Structure 1
Amino acid sequence: MKPICERCQVSLPAEQPGAWICSYECSFCSTCCVQMGQRCPNCGGDLQRRPTRQPEQSTDTQR
């Protein structure tokens, strides 16, 4: 997952909602997505909400 919006450079943490992607995984924040009419300026495809990830667990945690 890309860590920043390709348009405004705001941070897009993988574990937080609010990022949008196209089928090529171009990544944008919610504000830019709305301003662009939910269309990717790179490919013209529609933007969908990017799934979130769980925060990484520490590698020294016993399982």
Structure 2
Amino acid sequence: MQKRLYRSENNRIVGGVLGGIGEYFNIDPTVIRIGFLILALVTAVFPCLIGYFLAYFIIPEQKV
């Protein structure tokens, strides 16, 4: 069975993108969120928001 990347249904705060990435790589989603926050602060927030929203529309939602 092939592992697929989905937006998380369980680890969702905004859109489930970062929770889904955490589940895919078997990393605590909180660590992914903190890394995303640090990256957003370093890059003046805008590029990370664009990336997040693109990922939101590209990555399919997890079907329960």
Query: TM bucket by the smaller chain?
Result: under 0.3
Higher relative contact order (CA 8 A, sep 6+): 2
Which protein is richer in strand relative to its size? 1
Which protein is richer in helix relative to its size? 2
Larger Rg: 1
Structure 2 length-normalised TM:
0.25
Structure 1 length-normalised TM:
0.25
